[in-house]
C-alpha cells in the first residue's frame, strides 16, 4: 500500500531527472535574437556647393539683332527632403545667387551694362529614389521653380554706342525643373551627394535708358550642378 501511495511521486521524480539533460542541452545552445530593425525616418537634409550655369541668351525687343548674356555663379545651397515612402520623396532647395546682365549683338546693345540682380530661386521637386543598390542611392525628379528677383540695380554706364540703362527690372517667374542625382551613404546618417537640375527660366525684363523705355526677355535656362554632404535623420 505504501508503494502504491508513493508511486506517482516516484514517477514524477524520474521524469524530471530524465528531462534534466535535455534542458541543459537546450541551455547550451545560443539564444536567437531578432535583428535590429532600421527605423524609417522621413527627413533628410543636404548642404551643397552649387554652380549656376546660365544659357546666355535673351533679347531687347526694340533693337533688332540684340542679345543678352547673364553671368554664372557658385553659391552654397541647402535642401530639405521629406520621404513619403522609402522610394518617393519631395525636395525643396533654398539659396540665393547674384547675376550680371550685359548686352551683345548689334552696336546699340554690344557691351551694354544692363544691370545686376539677386535671385531667390526655391525649387520643389517630386523624386523617385532607387533602393536596390546598397549604399549607392540614385534618384530622378521633376517639379517647379519660382524665382524672385530682388536688390536690382541698373548699369548706369554707357557702352561704345552711348546707350545707358538707368533702370533695370527682371520680373518674378515660374519655371519647370527636372533633376537627376545620387546619394552615397557612408553610414546610417552621413553620405555624399551629387545633383544636377535643369530649369527653363525665362523672365521678362523692362528698363529705362537715355534713348527711351526698353523691354525684353532674359533666357537664363540655368543648369544647377551641385555636390555636397547628406545627413539622414
Domain ranges of the chain: 43-232
Per-residue pLDDT, averaged over 94-98, amounts to 96
| The predicted structure's pLDDT at residue 42 | 97
Helix (H) or strand (E) holding 28: helix 2-28
Q: What is the DSSP letter of 132?
A: S
| Coil vs helix vs strand at 10 | helix
**pLDDT at position 75:** 97
Average pLDDT, the chain: 88
pLDDT for 40 equals 85
Quick check: 9 pLDDT over 60? no
What's residue 28's pLDDT? Answer: 52
Q: Which helix (H) or strand (E) holds 99?
A: strand 97-104
43-232 belongs to CATH 3.40.50.720 = no
Q: How far apart are CA 44 and CA 59, in angstroms?
A: 41
Buried b (16+ CB within 10 A) or exposed e, 91-116: bebebebebbbbbbbeebbbebbbbb
128-181 confidence digits (pLDDT tens): 999 999 999 999 999 999 999 999 999 999 999 999 999 999 999 999 999 999
- Rounded to whole angstroms, the Cα distance separating 56 from 169 reads 18
* Residues paired with 223 in a beta bridge: 53, 198
**Is 41 in contact with 89 (CB distance < 8 Å)?**
no
| Section 54-58 average pLDDT | 95
Cα dist. 32→24, 82, 87 in Å?
A: 17, 36, 32
Q: What is the 3-state secondary structure (H, E, C) of 40-76?
A: CCCEEEEEEEEEEECCCEEEECCCCCCEEEECCEEEE
Amino acid at each position: 500500500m505504501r508503494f502504491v501511495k508513493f508511486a506517482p511521486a516516484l514517477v514524477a521524480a524520474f521524469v524530471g531527472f530524465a528531462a534534466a539533460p535535455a534542458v541543459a542541452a537546450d541551455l547550451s545552445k545560443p539564444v536567437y535574437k531578432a535583428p535590429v530593425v532600421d527605423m524609417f525616418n522621413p527627413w533628410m537634409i543636404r548642404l551643397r556647393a552649387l554652380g549656376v550655369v546660365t544659357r546666355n541668351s535673351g533679347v531687347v525687343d526694340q533693337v533688332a539683332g540684340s542679345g543678352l548674356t547673364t553671368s554664372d555663379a557658385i553659391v552654397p545651397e541647402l535642401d530639405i527632403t521629406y520621404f513619403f515612402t522609402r522610394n518617393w520623396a519631395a525636395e525643396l532647395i533654398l539659396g540665393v545667387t547674384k547675376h550680371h546682365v550685359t548686352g551683345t549683338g548689334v552696336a546699340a546693345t554690344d557691351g551694354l551694362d544692363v544691370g545686376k540682380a539677386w535671385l531667390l530661386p526655391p525649387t520643389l521637386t517630386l523624386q523617385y529614389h532607387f533602393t536596390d543598390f546598397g549604399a549607392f542611392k540614385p534618384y530622378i525628379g521633376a517639379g517647379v521653380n519660382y524665382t524672385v528677383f530682388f536688390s536690382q540695380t541698373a548699369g548706369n554706364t554707357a557702352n561704345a554706342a552711348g546707350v545707358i540703362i538707368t533702370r533695370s527690372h527682371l520680373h518674378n517667374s515660374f519655371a519647370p525643373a527636372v533633376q537627376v542625382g545620387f546619394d552615397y551613404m557612408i553610414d546610417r546618417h552621413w553620405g555624399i551627394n551629387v545633383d544636377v537640375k535643369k530649369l527653363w527660366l525665362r523672365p521678362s525684363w523692362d528698363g529705362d535708358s537715355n534713348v527711351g523705355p526698353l523691354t525684353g526677355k532674359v533666357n537664363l535656362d540655368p543648369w544647377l550642378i551641385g555636390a555636397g554632404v547628406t545627413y539622414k535623420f
